Chain A
């Protein structure tokens, strides 16, 4: 397989001026990541600061309601409230050991921005966070958290003022400021080596979940593993160590937006075509002329017209099954999980929970392990407006 590719997808479609920092990063991955110093420090941070291993939780009430065994991998219990911290601490430590002192990041839902800010504070680095103006309004609690922890927030006013445009602006900043700055890319997309690097830091989700599930189920594996997919970092982390287990069905849940005809969804695997955006060849929502279409989801973290290249590969080969859940189905799951189990999921994760609810008949009697990628406190403002 060509370097940086997953089957036909991946690559490094990026201006030449960004190649030197990407090459530097790739070399650091090979030379620093395997060292005992990195591994010891990273493992200790995950244990002491993140709270890993995160629990898996059996949901007795919902399992009874739905007629299946529902389990959650609780990334929402991580410090800062989502799976994002696994990646930002990994990249932050790597950047620190590379001699960088600024972590640059884009964020949609704000969880990656918060996690990057936490990593920067812990590692005595500066955090610069690019966020679409629309998302700044939608995710005010996270913006406040980032400011409190010392991040510089840059409001992105161009384009759709969401995640896609925040990535564009962050890439521009990195173009001009690369000597001391590491671009802490937030999902398993972007140019090589980011899809591989982010997966490396997120695969701990499935490493833990697989063992935890077997420990609780006399060595048996789950029938179905489910995760929501925006760029796809929690999903690739949740899938990775189950990929060789061919009996386990891997289900990625994309956002269908409002679900109405004409809505610009956030489901490039379901509705998109092959194309190039943000440094990678993958599936995209685009016009026939190759212009990137705006996306929509009630969950800001899923509101992205592209997807990580490894998901495009899993989709193309059939190892992953990708489905869609719309805004109202996700909001219903948000309410149901909150009321039946006392767990408030992020709107992003609610899409994955909704898969189990909406497909209860087909899943009857099966064990379903859902990645609860983040907690929903941040979304209460959005829900206040809708409900």
Chain B
């Protein structure tokens, strides 16, 4: 079983929702990034999502985009991310996931990328701009190295398409809570429950709810329909205001 699924199910067995914080690699700067990751890990993150910065992130909202572009200006690239992760392999209790867009991975070389991910202790990958139709060549490269491609589905994904994503899916299913980009929202659409229930039926791996999540209170109404929560923009904003990842995680513990 993929480490991401193991970690989420461990949290669920303790009566908790799996916690999946997201930070762009190198945010807020190279040194502090690793401190933030260590705090998130110590605070009980099940999976840590590390963003691979890209110049044209169409699925990201303004908070993530701005943070990612700052990381790019600081010279963060895939080579840095994978080299630094390799040095720290085994130091994290949480499973590690890389999230980004296809072009940087494509330029790195898919086979090399998959091998370097394995060497760096990465368990999963999310590519925001790659639907099922284009995913096979990426899966072919990842599978021999034990890296899982995490499916992204949303409010407008039909049951038939969910079934396509569910075939052979490992780790967890990322359910996007809104039609739109990443970012905090005051309220979530009413249709989520119905579609989450559908995803629960189709996938036999944990379901993680993401986009628009900023506080555990938002999740109460989705109890039993999801197994983990992803939060990025709220965490980035918290760190930007000079506070720690540890204090952000406090209400979630």
* A residues with CB within 8 A of B: 11-17, 19-20, 158-159, 164-165, 168, 171-172, 175-178, 275-279, 284, 286, 288-292
Which residues of the partner chain A approach B108 to less than 8 Å between Cβ atoms?
Answer: 289-290
Q: Are A172 and B107 in contact (CB under 8 A)?
A: no
Q: Are B103 and A175 in contact (CB under 8 A)?
A: no
Q: Are A16 and B157 in contact (CB under 8 A)?
A: yes
Bound together, the chains give a CA A11 to CA B132 distance in angstroms of 12
Tell me if B55 is interfacial: C-beta within 8 Å of chain A: yes
Q: Return 15 A-B CB contacts under 8 Å, by A number.
A: A14-B131, A16-B157, A17-B156, A17-B157, A19-B133, A159-B56, A168-B57, A176-B178, A176-B181, A286-B107, A289-B77, A289-B79, A289-B108, A290-B104, A290-B107
B237 to chain A, nearest CB (A): 18
Which residues of the partner chain A approach B180 to less than 8 Å between Cβ atoms?
Answer: 172, 175-176
Q: Are A277 and B103 in contact (CB under 8 A)?
A: yes
Chain B residues numbered 74-114 whose CB sits less than 8 Å from any CB in chain A:
77-79, 101-108
Listed from nearest, the 3 A-B pairs whose CB atoms lie closest are A290-B107, A290-B104, A176-B180
Bound together, the chains give a CA A176 to CA B54 distance in angstroms of 21
Which of A15, A178, A290 contacts B131 (CB under 8 A)?
Answer: A15
Which residues of the partner chain B approach A291 to less than 8 Å between Cβ atoms?
Answer: 54-55, 72, 104
Q: Are B156 and A13 in contact (CB under 8 A)?
A: no
Which residues of the partner chain A approach B79 to less than 8 Å between Cβ atoms?
Answer: 289
Interface size of B by CB at 8 A reads 40
Which of A17, A278, A284, A288 contacts B176 (CB under 8 A)?
Answer: A17
A283 to chain B, nearest CB (A): 12
Bound together, the chains give a CA A291 to CA B128 distance in angstroms of 15
Which residues of the partner chain A approach B133 to less than 8 Å between Cβ atoms?
Answer: 11-12, 19
* B residues with CB within 8 A of A: 54-59, 65, 72, 77-79, 101-108, 128-134, 152-158, 161, 165, 176, 178-181
Closest residue to A175 on the B side, CB-wise?
Answer: B180
Which residues of the partner chain A approach B77 to less than 8 Å between Cβ atoms?
Answer: 289
Closest residue to B65 on the A side, CB-wise?
Answer: A158
Q: Are A276 and B129 in contact (CB under 8 A)?
A: yes
Task: Tell me which of B58, B77, B128, B153 has the highest count of chain A C-beta atoms within 10 A of its own C-beta.
Answer: B58
Q: Are A276 and B103 in contact (CB under 8 A)?
A: yes
Bound together, the chains give a CA A172 to CA B62 distance in angstroms of 11
Bound together, the chains give a CA A88 to CA B176 distance in angstroms of 32
Q: Are A171 and B58 in contact (CB under 8 A)?
A: yes
Which residues of the partner chain A approach B65 to less than 8 Å between Cβ atoms?
Answer: 158
Task: Tell me which of B72, B105, B156, B161 has the highest count of chain A C-beta atoms within 10 A of its own C-beta.
Answer: B156
Which of A16, A172, A292 contacts B154 (CB under 8 A)?
Answer: A16
Q: Are A16 and B132 in contact (CB under 8 A)?
A: yes
B155 to chain A, nearest CB (A): 8
Q: Are B156 and A290 in contact (CB under 8 A)?
A: no
Which of A11, A14, A20, A171 contacts B158 (CB under 8 A)?
Answer: A20
Closest residue to B157 on the A side, CB-wise?
Answer: A16
Which residues of the partner chain A approach B131 to less than 8 Å between Cβ atoms?
Answer: 12-16, 19
Q: Are B103 and A15 in contact (CB under 8 A)?
A: no
A87 to chain B, nearest CB (A): 22
Bound together, the chains give a CA A12 to CA B154 distance in angstroms of 17
Q: Are B157 and A20 in contact (CB under 8 A)?
A: yes
Which residues of the partner chain A approach B181 to less than 8 Å between Cβ atoms?
Answer: 172, 175-176
Bound together, the chains give a CA A52 to CA B117 distance in angstroms of 56
On whether A175 and B55 interact (CB within 8 A), knowing A16-B132, A276-B103, the answer reads no
Task: Tell me which of B54, B131, B156, B179 has the highest count of chain A C-beta atoms within 10 A of its own C-beta.
Answer: B131
Q: Are A16 and B152 in contact (CB under 8 A)?
A: yes
Q: Are B156 and A20 in contact (CB under 8 A)?
A: yes
Q: Are B179 and A17 in contact (CB under 8 A)?
A: yes
Which of B103, B155, B165 contacts A286 (CB under 8 A)?
Answer: B103
Which residues of the partner chain B approach A19 to less than 8 Å between Cβ atoms?
Answer: 131-133, 157, 161
Q: Are B58 and A15 in contact (CB under 8 A)?
A: yes
B119 to chain A, nearest CB (A): 19
Q: Are B59 and A15 in contact (CB under 8 A)?
A: yes
Closest residue to B154 on the A side, CB-wise?
Answer: A17
Task: Tell me which of A165, A171, A177 has the highest count of chain B C-beta atoms within 10 A of its own C-beta.
Answer: A171
Which residues of the partner chain B approach A292 to less than 8 Å between Cβ atoms?
Answer: 55-56, 103
Which residues of the partner chain B approach A279 to less than 8 Å between Cβ atoms?
Answer: 129
A23 to chain B, nearest CB (A): 9
Task: Tell me which of B108, B130, B161 has the highest count of chain A C-beta atoms within 10 A of its own C-beta.
Answer: B130
Which residues of the partner chain A approach B54 to less than 8 Å between Cβ atoms?
Answer: 290-291
Bound together, the chains give a CA A203 to CA B129 distance in angstroms of 29
Task: Tell me which of B57, B77, B103, B181 has the highest count of chain A C-beta atoms within 10 A of its own C-beta.
Answer: B103
Which residues of the partner chain A approach B59 to less than 8 Å between Cβ atoms?
Answer: 15, 17, 172, 175
B236 to chain A, nearest CB (A): 17
Which residues of the partner chain B approach A171 to less than 8 Å between Cβ atoms?
Answer: 58
Which residues of the partner chain B approach A20 to less than 8 Å between Cβ atoms?
Answer: 156-158
Bound together, the chains give a CA A292 to CA B101 distance in angstroms of 12
Known: A15-B131, A172-B180. 5 other contacts (CB 8 A): A19-B133, A172-B58, A276-B101, A289-B79, A292-B103
Which residues of the partner chain A approach B176 to less than 8 Å between Cβ atoms?
Answer: 16-17
Q: Are B179 and A178 in contact (CB under 8 A)?
A: yes
B47 to chain A, nearest CB (A): 19
